[in-house]
Amino acid sequence: MDIKITKQSGIYTLTSRQVLPMPLEKAWAFFSLPQNLDKITPVDMAFSITNNPPNYTYQGQIITYKIGVFPLFKNNWVTEITHLKEGEFFVDEQRFGPYAMWHHEHHFEELKDGKVLMTDIVNFKLAMGFVGDLVAGFFVKNKVRKIFESRFKILGDLFPAHSS
């Protein structure tokens, strides 16, 4: 598991890398299908897509969700796909939701052995500036880390190394 979080100027950056035992076309098909996001989000977050996106991702696409950031408390979350290069990367940015800023890059790189290196880069900032960081920074940073640790395990279960 290769996950790290750094912080500069009040902005946290999570970088996660995972090798997937599949060809690039299969990885892109899975991750560019918005409905698959609920399959890789921890169950305890009570994640659900609330609009009806098509079975593909495109630049300008708006996706709306409900997500349980804290126990017994669900947030509305709206993201937009702001950048996309087919088979290489896409970016989702929060338009409305629990963060002051959320910018998530999804990168896919085909490796020589036919596998895919998936790299996620998430830049996020908490609401209420210094106060929000002081009160919730440690909790939120660890929550985001746990989401990606869980995702790492879920993807390993969904796509075991022997099933390319």
- Burial class (CB within 10 angstroms; exposed 0-12, middle 13-18, buried 19+) of 63: buried
Which pLDDT band, with edges at 50, 70 and 90, does 162 fall under?
Answer: low
pLDDT in tens, 40-53: 999 888 899 999 99
Q: Model pTM?
A: 0.91
Give the pLDDT confidence of 108-123 residue by residue, as tens digits.
Answer: 999 999 999 999 999 9
Is residue 73 included in any domain, yes or no?
yes
How far is Cα 163 from Cα 22, in angstroms, rounded to an integer? 8
**Contact predicate 91/101, CB 8 Å:** no
Q: How long, in residues, is the chain? A: 164
Calpha distance 94→80 (Å, rounded): 6
pLDDT bracket for residue 161 (50, 70, 90): confident
Q: Is residue 164 part of a domain?
A: no
For CA atoms 21, 24, 25, 30, the dihedral sign is positive
Domain contains 71:
yes
The domain tally of the chain equals 1
Per-residue pLDDT tens over the stretch 80-102: 999 999 999 999 999 999 899 99
What local confidence, expressed as pLDDT, does residue 139 receive? 80
CATH of the domain at 83: 3.30.530.20
Does the pLDDT at position 37 exceed 90?
Answer: yes
Which pLDDT does position 25 carry in this prediction?
A: 97
Closest CA to 90 of 51, 47, 34: 34
User: Rounded distance, CA 40 to CA 6, Å?
Assistant: 23
pLDDT of residue 134: 65
Note down the domain range covering 44.
Answer: 2-158
**Residue given tokens 């409305």 in the structure block:** 96
